[in-house]
A and B are shown apart, each in its own frame.
Chain A
């Protein structure tokens, strides 16, 4: 029975809360049933609801990089099916097109389900998750030396996986024969389907309870609420034009570095990011598509305006993104895009860098920037079963006004991402982790110091393992701000069993490891904030005692002489005029 409810502000608020709770529920459901560590530990997926027009209502995020991609997927679905009246209850559409409706790489597979109430389309539930495998030339699918999209795996061009509830068995067979770990990929697909159905069920229940009109009003109210908060925040920001330039290290196949730039203009009611003048699209797979760029800008826009608010498409109405066609951050088919995320964070970082000196209350100095991903494949020493590690790495964040940078955190494009415990890794994979510790390298000095990167060393326990490492920020270091020093680069070395040491490298495809070779991954220390001479001497002495900096560094970088036995300290004259 549809209850007659007065459309008061509290009902709208309560319905809105129910929609948000549904987003959370869909998000948790996916992680709990997924088969792949990249989903249940890294939380490399997003799920949410949009309205009938594809406007995002709520999104549960594991990673920030997906913010905005769900709506593009739904809009693509609407364009292909909706306008022709070809969408029906029970349909589920599968899509991973990087250029149009989805915006990342083929590994991120999206599912979209229209939700009907009494025959009328009222919303969509959608999710997008990183499958461990979608085929292509390399295990793990995403690769750092592809030269076109066809090497990167299976493409799902917005087609029906379910047609009015009937599974497209042929499609499932195609997936099964084209991916290396079909049980993982299909297991994740079922988890995604289950999460979508949860969303459908809850939205229908809400319609039953409150009536469609109330739901529609609540959706509008919710989007307007988001927009209002954004506009209020923009009004508080410094006005003007702010510029930053930087580089994307390499495209993975020997080209680069590639210059990128951004001009941020903030007016009374708009926030415009203009990336024109950046490098054209490149031969290797670091290209990012336009939808990926939009996600990047949305992430930093939220950080700048109001990081705590609910995320919906209303929030982003004041945001504008301008870019040349076919650039490194607006690549077009068939450019390779497998490592799109390196350019995504690079673009995001430009906006961050341009505004950091003017918004110390919201932004820190530069951080490790790179996803710092590694895939390692081989055989387990006891079971002889093949294994595949696909994981991002933690590193240092920048110092900020009033606080030191965090050590050992995933980069901004990740989020509620968890590292893989050593005990879990050693059980599942054919490796021994020799070390997982903070990287102490004297970088990132400042009044507030940059957080530390880490060292994670994998010792191969079988012959014939292959490591594909994609560490950006290898040639250009995390930037300091307001007199803080820059951080250190992401890099890796290989210590071979014969004692030979090879490295450092940033990006490297399929490095061959034999038994007892050790690959030593070292991630960046973040940039510092403010003049190091202003760091309280007592704190510097503590840093020395904690072995974050050496006695020599304390003296040279911070102007504090620390006794290595007693940790008594003396301030040097250089600090006086700081």
Chain B
């Protein structure tokens, strides 16, 4: 049996497929700081026979928590002579342009723990100054004295030639085997020294915490006599072994959230949709990502704590391309100094939560607006809802300011929230040159199904899918995942000067390395699959376009094909191409999958009538034209398959609600997904 567990802010989710192909779900409270306990709790709560678990897949927030709460190890850094301040100088940028009191993000490693050694390579990787090992030894002694717990090593140009970094960590491991150590080439092989150094530093910083967590989890599982193969979800949408996770925990920063994106691609394959916009609305944020031809997009342009006011910290590891905005169910509606209505990014969170929870929340939120307009009913909450208090909050904080009715104000909150989310959805689609009409929106998370049908129509997306188990869809995605490693190497060559032998050897080298790594993780060579990409640009440009390129040995034919493809993609992304300009390769990127057997999801067939599934009829306040509309409310689990429900209608399930508008329709498909025709032309 395959079991997936996903730790979220409030709940730890579990999803598994039973012997009959049926999907089962369990939920339990998240238990900080001993997160592994929550995992054990949810396993027990699910009632599954733990000795029967063959594969255990896990998504965790432990890494991102250690970073954002600054609870990592005391870390030292060793750099090339002349460059100890790389982390402190960073890139010098100031996104908060007009703020004279801008606070630059301070480095994770203090200056007294940043040490230099004599060694130097040039940009071709040739040694100009050999490594001074005596200095390395002195630094090790110094770090011991300072009670350092982890060491990062990052030298200039190590992405071309890692020899000096290798020698350094070898020496450290000999002299001080207990300390955690990371060389920059182990975590990224791309150029730009600040970004690579920071990635190495953060990996070292979280390594001890990650090792402790993974070990504890492993031991807890062993106590339950679980003999499963264990995997952890990485930011790239694939899994890796517990062993790898301890070595390179920085690959796990977005462990949970990406699983839902990956799951959308898998779901798409099941139901014959290959172009998908995956859309996840939680309590505080909404996230979206575009999947084209079944391909989840991955890049290394990832930062933590980056906002339009803060430069943040770069992490150059492969992360699924996600656009995230501060708009979720708990986002607070407020009026700015000049009288405009805004929603988010402040959130009421889980505690006190929206006014509706009755836990002390006083600021109206998107959830409150959804309740007041009848999209949600008081029965949907686990709390005792005081509707008057909700009405009062919206009335005094919003409606009065605009001299309008409470329901108009509530609808205003929903429209502004939708507008924010719409801008994020457009950012990944229309603004990247994609036509939304060719995409299907897969919506999940607690709030995805409530907002998606309206947003889809606005964007021109024709079809929305609300997957089975949509509130715990990330865990479902993990269940369906393969092992995955991304190998991204900076390799700067002009296409017209390309030496076919050299590049073919280079690809082979990467792929053989991947096969070797998978074999260590217990995956057979036959089960390894590769996709190749090249990050390319016109000579002179800085930014690149990721171009899918053919597997196997390249000849002049493939090169021509690649060049054509690049011109087309450049035009699609940026509206023009320069056919007479030389083209340059910057990075070679191989995604390697270690395929594992996936559970088969059963098809279902449910007889009955819509009338059987109907729970109630209630008034819902809709826009265009604005007014209360009598709306039928159905129980999702009782809806007969294949039968059309016409909008306006509401479908309720545990922990989520779907709202469709007039002119839209919906049916349950053979897997239990809700399929919505949005009425977009």
Contacts and interface: CB of A to CB of B under 8 A. Distances in A.
A423 B338 contact: no
Contacts of A451: 104
A422 B573 contact: no
A61 B97 CA distance: 8
Nearest to B86: A436
Given A228-B339, A408-B90, A421-B192, A362 B85 contact: no
20 contacts: A21-B427, A183-B581, A197-B575, A225-B338, A302-B98, A303-B99, A394-B92, A408-B88, A408-B104, A409-B92, A410-B93, A410-B94, A418-B91, A418-B92, A419-B89, A422-B83, A437-B84, A438-B85, A438-B89, A454-B89
Nearest to B412: A10
A355 to B, nearest CB: 10
B416 A40 contact: no
Contacts of B192: 421, 423-424
B85 A426 contact: no
A503 B102 CA distance: 33
Contact of A29 (B93, B337, B339, B574): B574
Nearest to A184: B540
A434 B82 contact: yes
Interface string B554-575: 0000000000000000100111
A354 interface: no
Contacts of A33: 541, 543, 570, 574, 576
Interface residues of A, number: 83
B193 A421 contact: yes
A244 to B, nearest CB: 15
A400 interface: yes
Given A64-B97, A438-B85, A546-B112, A426 B578 contact: no
A175 interface: no
A187 B89 contact: no
A111 B415 CA distance: 35
Interface in A343-388: 352, 362-364, 382
A496 B123 CA distance: 23
Contacts of A198: 575
Contacts, number: 202
A184 B539 CA distance: 10
A37 B542 contact: yes
Nearest to A437: B85
A437 B83 contact: yes
Given A183-B540, A415-B97, A436-B85, A426 B111 contact: no
B340 interface: yes
Interface stretch (A11-19, A275-283, A289-297): A11-19
Contacts of A400: 100-101
B95 interface: yes
A419 B540 contact: no
B220 interface: no
| Nearest 5 interchain pairs by C-beta | A408-B89, A435-B82, A394-B92, A35-B540, A546-B111
A10 B416 contact: yes
Given A14-B419, A408-B104, A436-B82, 6 more contacts: A9-B402, A61-B97, A232-B337, A308-B96, A406-B102, A421-B191
A434 B191 CA distance: 18
B212 to A, nearest CB: 28
A18 B423 contact: yes
Contacts of A417: 92-94
B629 interface: no
Nearest to B413: A10
Interface in A33-63: 33-37, 40-41, 61, 63
Contact of B122 (A25, A193, A426): A426
A423 B431 contact: no
Contacts of B492: 427
Interface in A149-203: 183-184, 187, 190-191, 193-194, 197-198
A228 B415 CA distance: 24
A418 B91 CA distance: 5
Interface residues of B, number: 68
Contacts of A299: 98
A364 B514 CA distance: 52
B226 to A, nearest CB: 46
B412 A9 contact: yes
Nearest to B336: A229
Contacts of B112: 545-547
Given A31-B543, A33-B576, A183-B540, A408 B85 contact: yes
Contacts of A415: 93-95, 97
B61 interface: no
A303 B416 contact: no
A303 B538 contact: no
A546 B99 contact: no
Contacts of B542: 34, 37, 40-41
A403 B156 contact: no
Given A33-B574, A424-B192, A547 B111 contact: yes
Interface string B613-642: 000000000000000000000000000000
A187 B99 contact: no
A31 B339 CA distance: 34
A21 B95 contact: no
A403 B542 CA distance: 35
B189 to A, nearest CB: 12
B581 A187 contact: yes
A13 B340 contact: yes
A483 interface: no
A363 B341 contact: no
A206 interface: no
A215 interface: no
Contact of B88 (A184, A225, A407, A410): A407
A232 B94 CA distance: 26
Contacts of B241: none
Contact of B431 (A25, A307, A394): A25
A319 to B, nearest CB: 14
Contacts of A432: 122, 128
Contacts of A364: 100-101
Contacts of B573: 32
A409 B193 contact: no
B137 interface: no
A422 B89 CA distance: 12
B605 interface: no
A422 B574 contact: no
B541 A34 contact: yes
A328 interface: no
Contacts of A13: 340-341, 416, 419
A394 B104 CA distance: 13
Contacts of A184: 540
Nearest to B418: A14
Interface in A109-137: none
Given A187-B540, A410-B92, A416-B95, A228 B338 contact: yes
A337 interface: no
